[in-house]
Chain A
Amino acid sequence: MKLDNPGLGHSGFGHPGHTLGMPSTGTSRVPLLAPDAPAQTRKDFTSDQEVRWCPGCGDYAILATMQGFLPELGLRRENIVFISGIGCSSRFPYYLDTYGMHSIHGRAPSIATGLATSRPDLSVWVITGDGDALSIGGNHLIHALRRNINITILLFNNEIYGLTKGQYSPTSEQGKVTKSSPLGSVDTPFNPVSLALGAEATFVARTMDSDRAHLSGVLRAAAEHRGAALVEIYQNCPIFNDGAFDVLKDRAESQRRIFHLRAGEPISAGGQVVIRDTDNELRIVAEGEADPQRIVIHDPSAADPSTAFALSRLSESTLSHVPMGVFRSVSRPAYDDLVRGQVEMAVAQAGGPATDADLAALLGGHDTWTVGA
């Protein structure tokens, strides 16, 4: 991972008068830990707050993985910010000893947009749930993705509204029986990966609460990505939607069902592989029967998102084929870099930061007149 941190202290935000070139990684402009500082451990990222999720909640595993992963970034702790909406999952920031904001339902991406745009020296993470991100906050999510703001969005998908005690969510399968859908939900669910790809996202991945290694790997890739990264994390809610992803956690079942996405490799599971059929559709066939010419080699950096989208459509609510990993990771200038670039350019072209005299000239405009004296 390439790092070229300018080492901005907190007094350095505002209008950093340097490098109009685009930074390359998600944390390019975030100050690193001093070389002589003691290495960080998970303890450094553990706040003194008592964790209050239900026993067995998948959120615990995600938190533990995150606390273990953050030291790897080598960033100054004070330059990391977690912003969440509302939901069980959105309590996450309280448990991390970084800066954090537990905001309001669905709005975290907009708050993160304001923060990330004004503070290039921060590593900004958004924590959200399937209801928070895809129901009440759907509009902010798609616009954060299309703008490609430099934030990492972790969508904890338990396919249920946890905090409000178990109503169906925009990712619940059709027919789901809950207290608000006693005869089964008639809503068609969203596929968060498909949605993100349709919203022009530059980085889209899927992972799972219980697979620490996979989750860490996806977090690493997401943190490295400059621009908006959407990570869907399958998360078990043992209270209101227990076992929703059990088939993916069972060793034998998961080997059949999880199609790992690895750049440059075929996409396969349990002796089956993804091919591009003669009609140009993606299909899953037995490896033995696949025409080697037609086997899809995964390329997350493909400019055209259609193959990534087709891959996202292989998932079904029965979880019989579930691609996991990075669907798409392409480079496009980040919104906040462009916004800051315009300001920096305007300041540079005007010969440097405005003075009181420049401001007075602005106030005066073109048509002034003088009275008296």
Chain B
Amino acid sequence: MNKPVRQLDRVVIRFAGDSGDGMQLTGDRFTSDSAVAGHDLATLPNFPAEIRAPAGTLPGVSSFQLHFADHDVLTPGDAPDVLVAMNPAALKANLRDIPRGATIIVDTDEFSRRNLGKVGYAVSPLDDGSLESYHVHPLALTSLTVDSLASFELSRKDKERAKNMFALGLLSWLYTRPLESTEEFLRRKFATKPDILAANIAALHAGAHYGETTEDFAHTYAIAPATMREGTYRNITGNTALAYGLVVAARRAGLPLVLGSYPITPATDILHTLSGLKRFGVTTIQAEDEIAGVGMALGASFGGALGVTSTSGPGLALKAETIGLAVSLELPLVVVDVQRGGPSTGLPTKTEQADLLQAMFGRNGESPVAVIAPQSPVDCFDAAIEATRIATAYRTPVVLLSDGYLANGSEPWRLPEIADLPDLTVTFQTEPNAVDDLGAPVFHPYTRDPQTLARPWAVPGTAGLEHRIGGIEKADVTGVIAYDPDNHERMTHLRRDKVAGITASIPALEVDDPDGNARVLVLGWGSTYGPIHAAARSVRRHGMAVARAHLRHLNPFPSNLGEVLRSYERVIVPEMNLGQLALLLRAQFLVDVQSHTAVRGLPFTAGELADVVTAAIHALPEPAAEHAR
């Protein structure tokens, strides 16, 4: 009995439930199945900071949004077409994001008077007509699941826990998703618990079967595969991609990778992932605090390893003094900051971009470091390689600014050939590089490469190059302690010029301005890439011209940035902070950019940005007959 199939080009689904309902897992599995079905996609997990907030309450709601399509997807979607709400709290917490006309699937078993009361519903919204303008499917998901597992020798509780798989099975049927990869996943996850495994697989199939037999759903939906570049793909989150990028970068550099890290949301998964990669020669040290984490990384760098530390904003604050030491020592150091809402503890599980100025300036003294940011979950891999390239080639700390959205969000990744990735081979100093007054060979640790201004990396164990370095100002070239005023002036400029000189090794900023006649430029950095790109597309679909560019390098900027900024009548800079990049651009280029900001712990929607761009275009003065670009 096959129901009719309707063709769609894109769907946004949000799974929402209690923290204990397994919504992240359900979303993850649906994502994997969609990826395997050949769709392009983007995801947005959204969960509370508490591990288990009280069941059935609004603070306990956890959700996972997935956007999949037959074309390339840039964002997790502005508004869900389908909401799966496992309890009244999940419905209430998410309803305001759901446009009229959307589909809502609820588990009616959870709509008890008690659960409704917990979130302040006097009458069930399923009964009071308030959901009239939605397609509501009230299904007794819990009891359907338990009934489907009648033959299993399991407690009722264990059976109920499989309801997320029942829901997943139902949605998979609805969107003609294969079940095999989820089955395989379950087999791995429950390898040691055969009865739980069997129940989960049975619930998954029961859900799919239910969809087919119930009269509730008249048809299923099909989405054609997206046209994607030839290659082998997988789905990957930003944190995993970043960790893998570090491993690959260390290999391409020929250095052992040493991570010193202290757990902090949303960066912890980088520590977790790298801790599991000992087989690849990776050393991880869970430090006693963030200061120790970066100290360990710096100690490893001194010894000739790729020293890395991973953290979030509060941890970056603690690491400041050690990063300053690395600036003075001129040793490679990669500092990963997965930004979250601040200040202080702020919003641990929500995203924000408000550490840019901390990364730039959050140290004492003139203390320049390179700063870069990935633009998508997959791009975290390339950003890690680029951070390593800069750190090792220029012997400098590099701050890599990821964020909570990139960290947990996922998208399909076309797997690279390792051999095609940049060669980052490092050469250590092995010979003396000067002679003393008597003509004997000596080593001067602060001589510089004329091109990069990098100093030699001479690691302990190298005979004849014994030397001492430290945070006290050093004499140019010889590196011995020096308090001389002119020397300090010179060294301060050298450190600045070295970091500024990284520009020579980075590509010019590319501007996406298809017809070359746009008067408004949208310039972004980091995870705003998706929404900005999607907004530009939508504006162009409405017949208007807009240019778009995205910064990977925040310090130094690409060499043509000033020219690009001056080429447009209006430059809009959307950021998830209160205008930090805008401040830097105004200061450095004296251009009055238009800062558009939001700090709601969530990525921008494409619609919101499209409105901002459209308004800016409308506000432009009438063009002169021949307006100068």
Contact = CB atoms under 8 A, between A and B. Distances in A.
Contacts of A339: 283, 285
Contacts of B279: 346-347, 349-350, 354, 358
Contacts of B181: 367
A262 interface: no
Contacts of B470: 93-94, 100-103
Contacts of B234: 363-365, 367-369
Given A115-B302, A122-B303, A370-B231, A103 B325 contact: yes
A372 B229 CA distance: 7
Contacts of B232: 364, 368-371
Contact of B468 (A94, A143, A340): A94
A122 B296 contact: no
Nearest to A49: B480
Point out which of B258, B307, B470 has the most chain A C-beta atoms below 10 A from its C-beta: B470
Interface in B307-339: 307, 321-322, 324-325, 329
Interface in B12-36: 32, 35-36
A47 B442 CA distance: 12
Contacts of B418: 356, 359-360, 363
Nearest to B254: A14
Secondary structure at the B interface, as helix, strand, loop or mixed, is: mixed
Contact of A362 (B244, B281, B459, B468): B244
Interface string B451-472: 0000000011111111111111
A101 B283 contact: no
A328 interface: no
B367 to A, nearest CB: 13
Contact of B299 (A113, A346, A370): A113
B461 A119 contact: yes
B193 interface: no
A241 interface: no
B168 to A, nearest CB: 15
Contacts of B289: 139
Given A107-B322, A360-B415, A362-B247, A372 B230 contact: yes
Interface in A130-167: 139-140, 143
A370 B278 contact: no
B296 A78 contact: no
Contacts of B296: 110-111, 113-114, 117
A63 to B, nearest CB: 14
A371 B307 contact: no
B235 interface: yes
Nearest to A123: B460
Contacts of A366: 184-185, 188
B404 interface: no
B260 interface: yes
Interface residues of B, number: 78
Contacts of A122: 303, 460-461
Contacts of B285: 113-114, 117, 339
A217 to B, nearest CB: 27
A194 interface: no
Nearest to A335: B285
A209 interface: no
Interface in A319-373: 339-340, 342-343, 345-347, 349-350, 353-354, 356, 358-360, 362-373
A113 B467 CA distance: 20
B471 A114 contact: no
B228 A140 contact: no
Point out which of A80, A97, A119, A364 has the most chain B C-beta atoms below 10 A from its C-beta: A119
B533 to A, nearest CB: 21
Point out which of B229, B233, B329 has the most chain A C-beta atoms below 10 A from its C-beta: B233
Given A140-B288, A343-B283, A372-B229, A99 B300 contact: no
Nearest to B459: A10
Nearest to B301: A114
Contacts of B324: 104
Contacts of A356: 251, 418-419
Contact of A81 (B248, B281, B282, B460): B460
B305 interface: yes
A98 interface: yes
Contacts of A371: 38, 225, 228-233
A86 B321 CA distance: 13
Contacts of A79: 460-461
B329 A13 contact: no
B468 A99 contact: yes
Contacts of A350: 279
Contacts of A100: 467-470
Point out which of B32, B233, B248, B303 has the most chain A C-beta atoms below 10 A from its C-beta: B303
Contact of A369 (B35, B321, B459, B463): B35
A10 B256 contact: no
A85 to B, nearest CB: 10
A206 interface: no
A117 B468 contact: no
Contacts of A114: 258, 260, 285, 295-303, 307
Nearest to B472: A102
Contacts of A360: 415, 417-418
A353 B468 contact: no
A31 B460 CA distance: 12
B459 to A, nearest CB: 6
Contacts of B466: 77-78, 97-99
A118 B283 contact: yes
A100 B185 CA distance: 51
A292 interface: no
Contacts of B464: 78
B141 interface: no
B35 A9 contact: no
A83 B307 CA distance: 17
Point out which of A49, A79, A117 has the most chain B C-beta atoms below 10 A from its C-beta: A117
Nearest to A354: B280
Contacts of A248: none
A362 B381 CA distance: 13
Nearest to B248: A359
A276 interface: no
B368 interface: no
Contacts of B278: 342-343, 345-347
Interface in B428-468: 428, 459-468
A237 interface: no
A14 B281 contact: yes
Given A49-B480, A107-B292, A119-B461, A343 B298 contact: no
A343 B282 contact: yes
Given A343-B282, A370-B233, A76 B463 contact: yes
A356 B251 CA distance: 9
B258 A118 contact: yes
A81 B465 CA distance: 12
B285 to A, nearest CB: 6
A360 B416 CA distance: 8
A143 B480 contact: no
A362 B295 contact: no
Interface in A1-31: 8-10, 13-15, 31
Given A15-B256, A343-B281, A370-B231, A93 B288 contact: no
Interface string B383-414: 00000000000000000000000000000000
Q: List 9 tightest A-B contacts by C-beta distance, closest first.
A: A102-B470, A114-B299, A110-B295, A10-B461, A114-B296, A372-B230, A346-B278, A110-B292, A111-B299
Given A343-B283, A349-B279, 8 more contacts: A77-B466, A93-B470, A96-B468, A97-B466, A104-B321, A118-B304, A121-B461, A363-B248
8 contacts: A9-B461, A101-B329, A114-B303, A118-B283, A118-B305, A364-B234, A370-B233, A371-B232
